[in-house]
Every structure is written in C-alpha cells, then in structure tokens.
Structure 1
Amino acid sequence: MASSFYSQTLTFFFILGMLATSVRVTAVGYKSLAKPIFRPSPWSQAHATFYGDESASETMGGACGYGNLFNSGYGTGTTALSSTLFKHGYACGTCYQIRCMGSKACFRGFPITTVTATNLCPPNWSKDSNNGGWCNPPRTHFDMSKPAFMKIANWKAGIVPVMFRRVPCMKKGGVRFSFQGNGYWLLVYVMNVGGGGDIGSMWVKGCKTGWIRMSHNWGASYQAFATLSGQSLSFKLTSYTTRQTILAFNVAPLNWRFGLTYQSSVNFS
C-alpha cells in the first residue's frame, strides 16, 4: 500500500510487449540425476503491506517480466519483494508462506497464505524506513497483492508484522519460455518454475549449434546474442537455490516466433 506508486512505476516498463498470445509445445526432455530436496526454510520476521485493489489488476506485469499474471498461471497469490529479498531478480518465482502475527489486524487463528514473488518493491529514500520507506534496505518486506493480504489481515491496517518462510513451488505443467528480441538477440522470460522457483543460470541450444550460455538480463529473463531463427530450440536451466539442473529438449519448433510462449514437458520437482 505504502509502496504502491513505486511498484507501479517500475512495473510499467516491464509489461510492454509481454501480453502476447501463448502457445504450448510439448518438449522431449529429462531431468538430471541429482535431485536436491528443497525443504521449507525456518520462519523469520518481516512486515507486509499491499498494493492495488481487490482485482489485483495493478499487480499485472512486474519487475520479473511475467506479463499478465493470470495468463502466466500466478493469479492473485503474488507479492513484490524488498530489494533485500529480490536479489536483483534471482528471487523471481520463489514461493513463500506468510502469516500475520503480533497485530490486532491479524485474523483469528493466524491463517497462512502462499504467494509467489513476481515484482520488486523498490526503496523510498524520501521516507524513513519505519514510516513509509518499508522496502528500504536492509528491511525484509512483502508488498502483497490485496487479495493475498486480505487472507491474513484486515486491509485497513495498511501494514502488519508477519512471519514468513520459503517453501517449494508446486507448479502444474512444464516450465514456460516467453520469447522476445530480434533476429540477432533472443530474450527469454522463464515462468511456471517448480521446486525452488528460481533460475540461477540458463543455456540455449539450436539444432545447429552447441550449448550457448545466456546472460541474466533482469528479473526472470535471460538473453543470448546469437542468430537462432529457423532452428528448434532446447534449454538447460539451473536453479539458483538448489543448483538442480534440468534439460528441456525441442521446446520451440523450427518455425518459432517472437511474442509467443512455449512450454516444456519438464519442471523442477
């Protein structure tokens, strides 16, 4: 709530071009033999606010680049993270359980809600960290969608103390790859990631190339400066948290196009 203006301003630059028509393509792939188990983290203290209204329309887009969160499968159970948690975008897609504690605004029974990180709540240095600058470092803070916030506390409180912990992301279907760029530059937004929910490194392989390491652009996007049009594309992903790696072969066909989203048949477990 307090950081709504800043989240909306940053979000604007990331939603352009991200509402493209989606197409699903089943890929042949396999997981690595190493399967690190990602367990919930210990509970920690933080605070939470909200931005937008009950429709969560103001949460669409976001610094992670997921575009329309309904089309991307994230829905209204989302949150923006303070930069301490956001980690320059490497926390995009991570999942958290949050419960309100220590406030009269908390609902009876202290219910838990699960949210996915889809946006950044940037610092507001014009305000004190304890009076409006809720996302200023080193604070750990969640600026949640209003529907998610309303599951744990009375929205009229504005800000509430919470307990939170990282949990595995339970996703249906394979990892999704949304393509942007041009003939010499491929920009891929990675969505619907299970397990740790995050991506630490990524490679692309055309049917005429070897594996090409992609560089982290921002949020959940990775880029390769290469001419890959007219080639079927495969991807290799490593989780930032668990270091688990999966291979997704033939995710995009020979005639793939920019502006479309392709889905693999594999995901992190």
Structure 2
Amino acid sequence: MTFALNHCCIFLCILVLLPVTCYSGDVFLSARATFYGSAGALGTPSGACGFGEYGKTVNNGEVCGVSKLYQNGTGCGACYQVRCKHPQYCNEEGTTVVVTDFAIGHDTDFVLSFEAFVKLARTNMGRLLIALGLIDAEYKRVPCQYPGTNVKVKVHEKSRYPDYLAIVILYQGGESDVTAVEIYEESSKKWKAMRRAFGAVWDISNPPKGALTFRFQASGSAGVKWVEPKKVIPSEWRAGIIIDTAVQLN
C-alpha cells in the first residue's frame, strides 16, 4: 500500500511540475538568425508593423523582422532575448530586440538589424560574426522595458480627417500583446471595434465626432484585460500627432 501511494505521489508531482517546466519563461527555443543593413544602420521606418520612424529608432535601433512570430501583426512590438550559439564568436547574454517587421529569410527565424546582430558578438569578434551571415541562435520572449516612458498612440500617416482614422500603439511595455482596440461612441453609448488594418495599425472609417475615448485589450500570460487611458484623441486629430496615454504596461 505504501509503495502504491509513493508512486501515486510521484505521478501527481510529475503532472503538476511538467507544465511549469514546459512553459517556463527561462526556456530558450532554437532558431536561425541573420541580419540586414550595414555598419551604423538602425532599423527600417518602412517595416510591415507600420511603426514608421519609431520602428527605426526604438530600442536604439536593435530591432528585428520575424515570420512565425509575426502572427498577422499581433507579434508587433514584442521583445525577445536572442543569443548566438557560436561560443567562439558570441557573448553569453546576446541582446534584446523589438519586433518591427515581417521578414522571411532562407531557413531563418530572425532577421536582425545590423546594430542588433553585432551585439551578439564577443569583443572584437563582430567582423567575424558578420562574415558568417547566417547563424544558429536561441530566443525567448522577455518583457519590453521603457523606463519612464508611457504607452503612446500615434495617429497614423494614412489617416484622413474626419473620415478615416488609423492609429498605432507605441512603447508597448511588458509581455502583453495588443489584441483589440475600441473607440467609444457617445451618441450610441457603445464601444466600436477598430479593425487591424495591418501590422500594429488599427483603423476605423467614419469615426465618431469630437474627442475620442479609446481602450485597448492587452493579452498575455497573466490573462486578458482592457486598458482605458484617461487621455483622449483630440477632436480635431490629424495625421502624425502622438498622444501620451499616461499609462504604462509592465
């Protein structure tokens, strides 16, 4: 009887601990990585996420394009720690990159900006790592960190006042994905869903008049929650303006 109970306890422990082991945030997954650009080059302002200049300079230009992790735009703005698996050339920590683009390379999971790629190298080994071009790597999702910077909403350049509004969310901290955006219509007292136009860009035709209250849905390992900033999109919004939401996602 004691033997059976002991084995039962061991079996239960395995059932309890196995999911923790499988989904631990400390687990790195194997990948392949390459780079684009040349020395001194940052990211690209024309990435598929629709970030514009933000996609070029965010995280000091240490950004990347991905394919499977792009997830039809849901993966835009996510952060990953990427490490090189060539110890003779690479340091142990690797670097953290922000997803700003969709990219498919030959047998490649990550296409890093030049600035991000050379950060993988040990001192004085950058030139040799660049010469390899395509490398074995590993990665894991990590929280995006923008100390002292709130989430911001930019009215996208494709917007046309007052008939068509497109927005993109910037400085998306933590590990949550933005999975929905809504605007409140005062006349009907209802929330109206915006459409994911492409990448991280959300749009709506014939938006409500006046100052616009909005909210976005943040989804992650901690669950799903709606975040409603106190700041609003001004009534006479125009393409290019940026609204500081006074909200941080950590």
> Which TM class, normalised by the smaller chain length?
0.7 to 0.9
How far apart in 2 are the matches of 1:134 and 1:103?
A: 21
Q: Which has the larger radius of gyration?
A: 2
Q: What is the Cα-based RMSD across aligned positions, in Å? A: 2.4
The answer to whether residue 210 in structure 2 is matched with residue 226 in structure 1 is: no
Paired position in structure 1 for 2:194: 214
Paired position in structure 2 for 1:205: 184
Sequence identity, in percent? 26
- Post-superposition Cα deviations, 1:88-108, rounded to whole Å, max 9, x if no partner, equal 11100000001111464x32x
Please, what TM-score do these two structures have when normalized by structure 1? 0.72
Q: 1:74 to 1:206 in 2, by over 3 A?
A: farther
The answer to whether residue 69 in structure 2 is matched with residue 88 in structure 1 is: no
Query: 1:185: Cα distance to partner?
Result: 1.8
Query: 1:70: Cα distance to partner?
Result: 6.9
The range that moved more, 192-201 or 145-154, is 192-201
How far apart in 1 are the matches of 2:136 and 2:175?
A: 25
Query: 1:192: Cα distance to partner?
Result: 0.8
Letter in 2 for 1:185: Y
Paired position in structure 1 for 2:152: 176
Please, what TM-score do these two structures have when normalized by structure 2? 0.77
How far apart in 2 are the matches of 1:198 and 1:61?
A: 21
Paired position in structure 2 for 1:55: 40
Query: 1:44: Cα distance to partner?
Result: 0.5
- Post-superposition Cα deviations, 1:163-185, rounded to whole Å, max 9, x if no partner, equal 10001111242221111322222
Letter in 2 for 1:145: S
Paired position in structure 1 for 2:120: 152
Letter in 1 for 2:236: N
Q: 1:237 to 1:218 in 2, by over 3 A?
A: same
The range that moved more, 175-184 or 212-221, is 175-184
Q: Tell me, which stretches of 5 or more residues in structure 1 are unaligned? A: 1-38, 124-132, 136-140
Query: 1:238: Cα distance to partner?
Result: 1.2
- Post-superposition Cα deviations, 1:107-128, rounded to whole Å, max 9, x if no partner, equal 2x423201100001036xxxxx
Aligned residues, how many? 214
Q: 1:41 to 1:94 in 2, by over 3 A?
A: farther
Q: 1:74 to 1:234 in 2, by over 3 A?
A: farther
Q: 1:192 to 1:58 in 2, by over 3 A?
A: closer
| 2:81 counterpart (85, 97, 104) | 97
User: Which of the pair has the greater relative contact order for Cα pairs under 8 Å at 6+ separation?
Assistant: 1
The answer to whether residue 30 in structure 2 is matched with residue 45 in structure 1 is: yes
More helix as a share of residues = 2
The answer to whether residue 166 in structure 2 is matched with residue 187 in structure 1 is: yes
Q: 1:227 to 1:163 in 2, by over 3 A?
A: closer
Structure 1 contact 92–197 (Cα < 8 Å) conserved: no
How far apart in 2 are the matches of 1:206 and 1:175?
A: 23
- Post-superposition Cα deviations, 1:175-232, rounded to whole Å, max 9, x if no partner, equal 2111132222211111111112521111112555532111111100111223335x22
- Post-superposition Cα deviations, 1:8-49, rounded to whole Å, max 9, x if no partner, equal xxxxxxxxxxxxxxxxxxxxxxxxxxxxxxx83521000110
